[in-house]
Amino acid sequence: MKTINDFNFKGKKVLIRVDFNVPLDADFNVTDSNRIEAAKPTIEKVTKDGGIAILVSHLGRPNGEKNAKYSLKHIVSKTEEILGSKITFVEDCVGEPVKKAVANAKAGDVILLENLRFYNEEEKGDEGFAKELGSVADFYINDAFGTAHRAHASTTIVAKFFPDNKCFGFLLAKEIESLDKVLHSKDKPVTAVLGGSKVSSKITIIENILDKIDHMIIGGGMAFTFIKAMGGKIGNSICEDDKLDLALDILAKAKEKNVTVHLPIDVVAADAFAADANTKIVNVKEIPDGWQGLDAGPKTLEGLKSVVLESKIILWNGPLGVFEMDKFANGTIELGNFIAEATKKGTFSLVGGGDSVAAVKQFGLAEKMSYVSTGGGAMLEMLEGKVLPGVKAIQD
């Protein structure tokens, strides 16, 4: 399949679907510009070739109403700073103002259109809206992995109007390539670290990856459902009581497929879900009544270190504890350090899912991973084995 490097954009008007859905503070300053930075190589490829880059994105959930709070004008100065060039901002994403701005643009210019979700037609995947969106361009690039799992007008439907003039941007291609590396690797062993609070939210991922991995590390709150299913006493720890049979079923399937499952041995238990709670280290199967496990214990971490360091491919999705509280962050930090050490020695590490990404950024570990995904929901759906509409639209 052709990549962005197979095309020259000289003289072309290029519609680029980016994911500039970035967090803003109360004064509308961008507080995390990673997604804008991630789109820079694709935008630069178009402008350096001598094309015109027409950027489209959503921001927040304005629910089809024009709301100044969600205007993309708030991110113009930060985007100009990152790209190192001026941007023409258009206060609409379809219609005469857009046509006029594109007609007046010169080679190498960057145009940013207003929030796509000011129109209900965007999320409905309306064909007429998609056609109007694409009418100002003669090439389409999708570089928005974060929305590739949505069949919206700008991520999926618009592609049909560019049958031979469409491709993935650098970011989206890298996301697909990284996930492909995890799911279809010849390198062994492959280790998946699954954390977070619920087994139910990870069940389809587990079912899809069991054939592809050698080790499965289960941590965070979801581990207690497994421990209780196996007869352990978990005190007041979080647990999905209706998923106990499912947990046993997962363990049986893993055994059948020769996947080694690593559950916690000990935990940092607390007498309350609070930053100032009293804590003690206890056996994971013997948590006293009134206490709850909130982080991985030292014996658990000791056992995980060798598994991680021997792995050739690592997928990390979910923290090992309540890392937002300093008292219960150690397990997640240590795991991150182990993965960073393995990565330095040549292991391929992919981090994805909101909490894991937040953790590696918070603890300064992001640069030490092979790849940190920009799309939570999209990545999870790919791990579940689903074909993303935004990906399929380019491949068709």
| Max CA separation in the chain (angstroms) | 71
Round the CA-based radius of gyration of the chain to a whole number and report it: 23
What is the total residue count of the chain? 396
Q: For residue 202, name the pLDDT band (cuts at 50, 70, 90).
A: confident
Report the mean per-residue pLDDT for the chain.
Answer: 95
Query: At 354, is the pLDDT very low, low, confident or very high (cuts 50, 70, 90)?
Result: low
Segment 210-221 shows an average pLDDT of 95
The torsion defined by the Cα of 307, 370, 318 and 336, in degrees rounded to 10, comes to 60
DSSP string, 333-392: HHHHHHHHHHHHTT-EEEE-SHHHHHHHHHTT-GGGSSEE-S-HHHHHHHHTTPPPHHHH
Mean pLDDT of 92-99: 97
Which pair of tokens denotes residue 50? 């001598």
The closest of 324, 327, 308, 307 to 361, measured between CA atoms, is 324
Contact 350, 370 (CB under 8 A): yes
Structural domains of the chain sorted by starting position, each given as residue range(s) with its CATH number in brackets: 4-173 (3.40.50.1260), 185-382 (3.40.50.1260)
Instruction: Determine the average pLDDT of the residues in 125-130.
Output: 98
CA pair distance 295, 364, nearest whole angstrom: 20
User: What percent of the chain is modeled with pLDDT above 70?
Assistant: 99
Q: 164: which residues sit within 8 A by CB, 6+ positions away? A: none
Which residue ranges make up the annotated binding site for substrate?
19-21, 35, 58-61, 117, 150
Could you tell me which residues come within 8 angstroms of residue 97 by beta carbon, excluding any fewer than 6 positions away? 90, 91
Residue 3: pLDDT band (50, 70, 90) is confident
- For residue 277, is pLDDT > 90? yes
User: Which positions are catalytic?
Assistant: 35, 198, 354, 377
CA–CA distance, 66 with 129 (Å, rounded to integer): 16
Binding site for ATP, by residue number, is: 202, 293, 324, 353-356
The whole-number pLDDT of residue 355 equals 85
